[in-house]
Structure 1
């Protein structure tokens, strides 16, 4: 697999994973508090019919299929660390969409992750 093709597939898979995570979060905000015991109650029906939960699961499914293509063609030690881009995007979008508090320490951690991804891409 060409380096650029691998990068593009990993990025698409990562973006779909981020979309999935954001959708699941919104779905759970819509549902409210959910406990493990709720899987055995009728509250689980609310979970599986929540549109954002369905979108999140579908996004993860597509991301997984793309990831399987990546795994069949690229070195795992190259591809897997690039998924860290998802951490960066989740922090940014969590702040934007959910008003979550991204502290200086979290921001510094995101910068370190970004540096690591940059070094990884330079090494290939």
Structure 2
């Protein structure tokens, strides 16, 4: 079941990377009443947003299965792995900086998950 939990979290993390990539292509976004329709039309034309929504949907379905078989207090801490996945994927795919502080933070998160799952 831990594999399913991590799969759900990983898919959501990839969705976040796609959302960022799409946002970079989108540029300025106001979402004001005057520009809402044109903003939504621009968003719909960027494939990364559609893929991100699909991944979020699949991730949610997997997460529902996980929650149907596990207590929330057991499953939910693994959700924090999304911070670690997004950090690594951002460094690999978006060329974002991977600093010592980020690595130490990831280590703290992973340590906390291990402690909670014992």
> TM-score w.r.t. structure 2 length?
0.90
1:39/1:12 Cα in 2 relative to 1: closer, same or farther (>3 Å)? farther
Distance across 1 between alignment mates of 2:6 and 2:97: 25
Query: Which of 97, 112, 123 is the aligned partner of 2:108?
Result: 112
Gaps of 5+ in 1: 1-5
Q: Which runs of 4+ in 1 moved over 4 A?
A: none
Distance in 2 between residues matched to 1:107 and 1:12, nearest whole Å = 21
Q: Which of 8, 12, 17 is matched with 1:17 structurally?
A: 12
**Counterparts of 1:36 and 1:115 in 2: how far apart (Å)?**
40
Show the counterpart of 1:50. Answer: 46
Aligned counterpart for 1:7 among listed residues 2, 15, 29: 2
Total equivalences in the alignment: 117
Matches of 2:55 and 2:64 in 1, distance apart?
14
The equivalent of 2:23 in structure 1 is: 28
Normalised to the residue count of structure 1, the TM-score between the two structures is 0.86
